[in-house]
Structure 1
Amino acid sequence: MTVVTLPQALSFRLNRQHLTKPAADALIAARTLIGAQAQVHSAAILQLRARSEAGAADGDIDRALYQDRTLVKLWAQRSTLHLMQADDLPMILGLRREHVQGYHNWYAKEGLSADQVETLVTAVVQALEQGAHSRMDLSRRLVPILGEWARPMLEHSWGGIIKLACALGHVCHGPAEKACGEGAREALFVHLGQWLGHSLTVPDGRTAMADLARRYLAVYGPATPADFKKFVGFYAGPAQQAFADLGKEIVPVTLSGKKAFVLEHDLPALLAAEPVEGQINVLGLFDPYLLAHADTGQYLEDRFRPAIYRVAGWISPVILRQGRVVATWTHSRVAGPNGTGAWAVQVTPLERVYKKELPAITRGLKRLSGGLPVSVTGV
C-alpha cells in the first residue's frame, strides 16, 4: 500500500476543508463540511466564518436560513443539530431514517407504545402544517387533545418526538426563535416540505450511506470505517458496508502504520499535499475538524484530550499549527472603540505558542469575530 505521512494527511484535510484557501461563501463551506454542527447556533456560524472569504456575516447566514432557505437547520449526523445545505437533505434524511428503529426502542423504554408514537408524530405534523410552533406551543395545543401521556415527549429538551418526525423528513427548525419570558427563547419548528416549498425524494439508507462516505472521504480522508462511524454516529456494520459499496472508487493507504482509505482520484492530491510553513488556523466550538476521526492522536497529543473533549460532549475552540492542536482559547465580549463591541481573548497554550504567531492568531480570531477588534492574552 502507498505510505502517506501524517503531515500530508493533515495538509490534505486543511486544503479540502477550506482552511488553507477559504470558500467563496458560507453555503459552499457548509456543503463541503457536510453541515456545520449547530447544537450551539453561534458555534456553527464560527465554523462557517473560519472557512469563508472575509468570514461569514450573520446577516448572510440568516438570509440563507430564513429567506432563501438554501441552508436548513435540523438533526443530522450524530443526531446533532446542523446547518445543512438544502441540496444535501435527501442524503441526510436517507441516513436519518436508518435511526428510526433506535428512536422507537427509546420511546418503548420510556413507556410509549408504537401506536402512541405514531399518534404523536401525526399530531405534530398536522400542527406544523398550520404554522411554526415551539415545543411548548405543541404541548399546549396537543396535550389537551391527546392526554398527559404526550407531554414528556413533546416538551423533551433533547427533541423527544420531534426528532423522530425530523428523521422521517417532516420537520426542521424554522424562523429563528420566539421569546418566552424573562429573556429566554424557544426554538421554532416548521413542516419541512412547506418550508422548502417542495417535497424531497429520499434515497434508501444504504445508498445514502455510500454517498455520504464518498463526500466524507473527499474532505476528511484518508480515513477508516471506524472514523466514518464516529462522524455519522451510526453502527459499525453500515459504516463498513458503505466503504465496501464504494468498491474501486477507494484505495487503501498506510497512515501512521495503519490502513486507511482515500478516494482513488484524490490520491495524487494527497501525495502532493505539503504543509504550509507556520500555517495557523483558529477554530471555534464543536468544529468538524475535531469530530471526524476516531484516532484523535493524529492531530492532538493524548494527554491534552481532556482540554478539548470535555464533559457533556463539549468541544473546545482550538488553534491549529499545520493541522495539529497547539492551544485552546476563550473569549468574552467587551466594549470596543467608539462604542462598538470587541473580543477579549484568552489563549491557553498546550504546546509552545510563539510571539511571532500572534498576528496570524489575531487575524483568525478577527475573522471569527465578524471583524470586531480583538485583544489577545496568553501568547
Structure 2
Amino acid sequence: MTAPARRMRAQRLSAPASGVEDLLDSVFALQAQDVPAARLAARARGVRSLDGPVVRTWAMRGTLHLLHERDLWVVGLLGPVFIAAGKRRRAQLGLTDELCARALPALREVLAEPLGRDALVGRLAEVGVVLDPRSQAPAHLLAFAAHSGVLRRGLDDTYGLLRVECEPRGVDELWRRHRRAYGPATPDDFAAWSGLPKRAVRDLPEVVDEPAGPRGAVRVLGHFDPYLLGYRDRSAALDPAHARLVQTGGGFLTPHVVVDGRVVATWRRVGARFEVHPFGARPDIAEEVADLGRFLDVDAALTWV
C-alpha cells in the first residue's frame, strides 16, 4: 500500500464523493481563492455542484477555502494566528487597532445584503470607516474582519456577514481532520497546510490512516487542487526532477495529471483543446479529458505536447 494511493483515497480522488457535503466531510475544505479551480477540484472528486450548506471564507494559511458550515469553528481557531501575523502590515497601511475595532460593527451595519468590494468600501466610508480604494488597505481590513469571524466571501465574490454557529474546537481536532483528508501526513505537513506555528503542533495525538492500494485512478487536476497543497514534502507524489514544472512559485501549481497518486504530466486548456505534457509514457487520460470537457461544456480535444 503506497502513500500516494492512500492519499488519493483520503482525497476522494479514487473513491468519488456523493455530493459536496460528503466531499467536505472527507477532505475538510477546498482551496477556493479561484472559484473555477475549486469547481475543477470538486469535479475530480465526483462532485458536479457546489450548492449546499457551504461557506467560502479565509481559513488555512490565511487563504480562501470552501468549508461546510458546521466546520466554521476553524475560523475561531486560526483567525487569531493570522490577525497577529498581519498586524505589522495593517499598521503600515494605516489600519490602526482603533480603526479595525470600529470596522467590525460598521460591517455588521452596512452588510444588510451582499456587496461587491467597491460598493462595500463606499458604504464603510459613509459610516466613518474611510479606506483608500487604490491601496491594499481594503483587502487587509476585509481579511481582518474575516479572521475575526465577521465576514465571508460568496462564490460570486460578493461579501456578506459570517455566522459561526458551531462549538469551538482545538488543534487536535484540526489535526485529526487533516490526517483524515491527507494521511499519511506528518506534523510538518500539518503546519504547512494549516499555517499554524511549529510550537502549536507539538505532542499531537496518534491518528491511524485508512489502508488503500493502487486502483489505477487517473485524475486531471487544476492549479489550486488540494492534493499537493496538503504537504510540505511532496516528493511521494511529485518527482523532484519534475517539481519545477508544477511548482512555479507563489503557491501556484500548474494544472497536472495524477495516476495512482503520482504526478505524471502537466496540462493546460487552449479553447476546447487540452494540451498535455507527459513526463514519461503517455497516461491513459482520454476518459478523464472527455469528462472534463462535459463538465466545462466544451467538445474536448486531447493533444500531446
TM-score, with structure 2 as normaliser: 0.90
Matching residue of 2:142: 162
The question of whether the paired residues in 2 share the 8 Å contact of 1:92 and 1:208 is answered with no
When the two structures are aligned, how many residues end up with a matched partner? 305
Deviation at 1:372, TM superposition (A): 4.2
What's 1:274 paired with?
213
Partner of 1:362: 289
Deviation at 1:152, TM superposition (A): 5.1
Q: Can you give the 5+ residue segments of structure 1 that lack an aligned partner in the other structure?
A: 1-6, 65-69, 178-186, 194-198, 251-262, 334-342
The letter for the 2-side match of 1:352 is: A
- Deviation by residue 1:172-214 (Cα, 9 ceiling, x = unmatched): 124x54xxxxxxxxx3111123xxxxx52452xxx43211100
> Residue 331 of structure 1 corresponds to which residue in structure 2?
269
2:123 to 133, 138, 141: 141
Choose between structure 1 and 2: higher helix proportion.
Answer: 1
1-structure distance, mates of 2:126, 2:18 = 50
**Distance in 1 between residues matched to 2:72 and 2:159, nearest whole Å:** 16
SS of the residue corresponding to residue 139 of structure 2 reads coil
Q: State the 1:98 CA deviation.
A: 3.0
Whether the aligned pair in 2 keeps the contact of 1:329 and 1:348 (CA below 8 Å) is yes
1:108 aligns with 2:91: yes
Name the CA distance, whole Å, in 2 between partners of 1:119 and 1:20.
48
Tell me what 1:117 maps to. Answer: 100
Q: Which runs of 5 or more structure 2 residues have no equivalent in the other structure? A: none
Q: Show CA shifts across 1:344-379 (max 9, x none).
A: 10001122215xx14344355346x35643210007
Equivalent-residue separation in structure 1 for 2:105 and 2:138 (angstroms):
19
Deviation at 1:46, TM superposition (A): 0.6
- Are the structure 2 counterparts of residues 103 and 303 from structure 1 closer, same or farther at C-alpha, using a change threshold of 3 Å? same
1:30–1:48 Cα contact (<8 Å) kept: no
Distance 1:127 1:173 in 2: 15
Over 3 Å counting, the alpha-carbon distance change for 1:364 and 1:275 in structure 2 is farther
Structure 1 residues 158, 75: closer, same or farther in 2, change over 3 A?
farther
- Between the aligned partners of 1:162 and 1:147, the Cα distance in structure 2 is 12
The amino acid across from 1:131 in the alignment is E
Kindly indicate whether the alpha-carbon contact (under 8 Å) linking 2:58 and 2:75 is maintained by their aligned counterparts in 1: no
Equivalent residue number for residue 336 of structure 1: none
Correspondence for 2:276: 347
Superposed, 1:1-379 pairs within 5 Å as 8-52=2-46, 55-56=47-48, 60-61=49-50, 63-64=51-52, 70-128=53-111, 130-146=112-128, 148=130, 150-151=131-132, 156=136, 159-174=139-154, 176-177=155-156, 187-193=157-163, 199-203=164-168, 207-240=169-202, 244-246=203-205, 250=206, 263-264=207-208, 266=209, 269-270=210-211, 273-276=212-215, 278-333=216-271, 343-354=272-283, 357-363=284-290, 365-366=292-293, 369-370=295-296, 372-378=298-304
**Identity %, equivalent residues:** 27
Counterpart of 1:213, as a letter, is W
What is the RMSD of the two structures over their aligned residues, measured on CA atoms? 2.4
Change (3 A) 1:97 1:327: same
1:136-166 CA distance string (max 9 Å, x none)? 1122222255365x3359x638832111111
Between 98-107 and 280-289, the greater mean CA deviation after superposition: 98-107
Counterparts in 2 of 1:18 and 1:71: CA distance versus 1, 3 Å: same
Letter in 2 for 1:151: D
SS in 1 for 2:281: coil
Structure ID, larger Rg: 1
Report SS of the residue matched to 2:13. Answer: coil
Given that 1:317 and 1:328 are in contact with CA atoms closer than 8 Å, whether structure 2 keeps it comes out as: yes
1:160 aligned counterpart, secondary structure: helix
**For residues 71 and 108 of structure 1, do their structure 2 counterparts lie closer, same or farther at Cα, with a shift above 3 Å needed?**
same
Work out whether residues 172 and 190 of structure 1, in 8 Å CA contact, stay in contact via their aligned partners in 2: yes
Q: Structure 2: how far apart are the matches of 1:227 and 1:113?
A: 34
Q: Cα distance, 1:293 vs. partner? A: 0.9
2:267 partner SS: strand
Which amino acid in 2 is paired with 1:169?
G
Question: Structure 2 vs 1, CA of residues 23 and 99 (structure 1 numbering), >3 Å: closer, same or farther?
Answer: same
> Aligned partners of 1:300, 1:97: CA distance in 2, in Å?
33
Secondary structure at 2:86 match in 1: helix
